[in-house]
Amino acid sequence: MNGLRMFGNAPVPFTVSWSGEADFYVADCPHARLRAICQSVAPGSGKPQFGKPHSQRQREAIARRLCDLSGRSLKNRTKVSLSHARVRSNGAEGPCIMQVEPLVHRECGARCIRFCPSLKRDIETGSLMVRQINRYRVQFAIRTRNTSRITSPATSPPTDRIVGHAKVELRSWADRDQAWLERAAG
C-alpha cells in the first residue's frame, strides 16, 4: 500500500476530498472529455472529508478504472463493489446496478471494511452489498448548472448541461460477503 495517504491510523481513500479542496467551478474534465463540475486540487491539504468524494478524483477513478482506496489500476485484478446499490430493471441493456462508488481491489475492500465506521455499520445492518465484479462499464451523469456553489470562470462558454459524477454500471457480478473479502487480506 505504498503511496496510500493515512490520517492517524486510518487509510484515506484516493477519491476523498480534503478540507483544503473546498472551491468548486466548471471547467473541461479530461476524464469525461466534457465540461464538468470541478474542484480545487490539493490532496493532503487540511483534513480528509470522509464520505465526500472529490469531484475530479471520483471521475478519474471510475473513468481510468482505478481503485477507490489506493488509486492504482484495477486491470488484471479482482474487482470489488462495496455499495448499497440494488439491481435496476431499467438498464439500457436489461438489469444492472448503477453506483457512484468506484470499485476497489479485493484486498483494498478488506482494508476498507476494517477501518471505515460507516461500512462496518452497513455490514452489521445488512445494507452493504459486497460483489465481485466480472463486467462493467463507465457512464457520466449530466446535470444542469443550478447550484449556487458552482461558478464558471469568465472565459467559460455558456452551457446548461455539465458532467457531475461518474457512474459504474455493473453488468455481471457474483454476490460475496465480508468473510470472502477478509480471506484476501490473509
Residue 92, pLDDT score: 72
Question: Would residue 67 count as lying in a domain?
Answer: yes
Residue 159, pLDDT score: 56
CA distances from 36 to 21, 131, 133, 160, 180 (A): 16, 29, 27, 11, 37
Overall average pLDDT of the 29-50 stretch: 94
137, pLDDT greater than 60: yes
CA distances from 23 to 54, 57, 99 (A): 11, 14, 25
25, pLDDT greater than 70: yes
- CA atoms in the 13 A half-sphere facing the CB of 40: 12
- CA atoms in the 13 A half-sphere facing the CB of 7: 17
Question: Would residue 82 count as lying in a domain?
Answer: yes
Residue 186, pLDDT score: 67
Question: Would residue 131 count as lying in a domain?
Answer: yes
Q: What is the pLDDT of residues 87-114, one digit of tens each?
A: 988 777 878 899 999 999 999 999 999 9
Q: Which residues contact 126 (CB under 8 A, 6 or more apart)?
A: none
Provide the pLDDT confidence category of residue 146 given band limits of 50, 70 and 90.
low
Structural domain span for residue 156: 6-185
Listed in sequence order, the DSSP H helices in 32-147 are 55-63, 106-115, 117-125
> What's the predicted TM-score (pTM) here?
0.88
Question: Would residue 23 count as lying in a domain?
Answer: yes
Provide the pLDDT confidence category of residue 152 given band limits of 50, 70 and 90.
very low
Question: Would residue 144 count as lying in a domain?
Answer: yes
53, pLDDT greater than 70: yes
Q: What is the pLDDT of residues 168-185, one digit of tens each?
A: 999 999 999 999 998 977
Question: Would residue 135 count as lying in a domain?
Answer: yes
Residue 150, pLDDT score: 47
Question: Would residue 17 count as lying in a domain?
Answer: yes
Structurally, how many domains does the chain consist of? Answer: 1
Question: Would residue 1 count as lying in a domain?
Answer: no
